Amino acid sequence: MVRQHRVQRRRARCHFGRVEPAHAARGALDAAEAANRSLAAALADETLFKEVRHRVENNLQVTTGLLQMLARRFDDLAVRAHLDRSGDQHPQARLPVRHGRRVGHLPAV
């Protein structure tokens, strides 16, 4: 979960007795809001990356499964070996769908 920065608006009394926001607090509030927007954008990018990776892995698993099904249809061992090698060219396809790895530690697909 992304921790958001919270800055409370401070009030300062001017010499006329009115209560106005302090300029320093307004600058800190603007900085915190900018940091929150940056964190939200980074979280959206991370979520998108995870979703794309998940879909790629699923597609590779389907492709490998189809090649294995096709290989079982042939009696010729040379054809089976060739189809098995074709499925082995996608090592990421053998990964489980729910792998629990963090985004920063994912190997290239």
47 falls within a domain: yes
Low-confidence ranges of the chain (pLDDT < 50): 93, 97, 99, 102-103, 109
Residue 73 domain boundaries? 11-105
55 falls within a domain: yes
Q: What domain count does the chain have? A: 1
Cα(5)–Cα(7) distance, integer angstroms: 7
The pTM for the full model equals 0.47
16 falls within a domain: yes
* Separation in Å, CA 21 to CA 8, 11, 55, 81, 84: 10, 5, 49, 75, 70
pLDDT, tens digit (0-9, with 9 covering 90-100), for 6-21: 555 555 555 555 555 5
85 falls within a domain: yes
Burial class of residue 26 in the structure, from the number of CB atoms within 10 Å of its CB (0-12 exposed, 13-18 middle, 19+ buried): middle
Please tell me the predicted confidence (pLDDT) of residue 103.
47
6 falls within a domain: no
Please give the DSSP secondary-structure letter assigned to residue 47: H
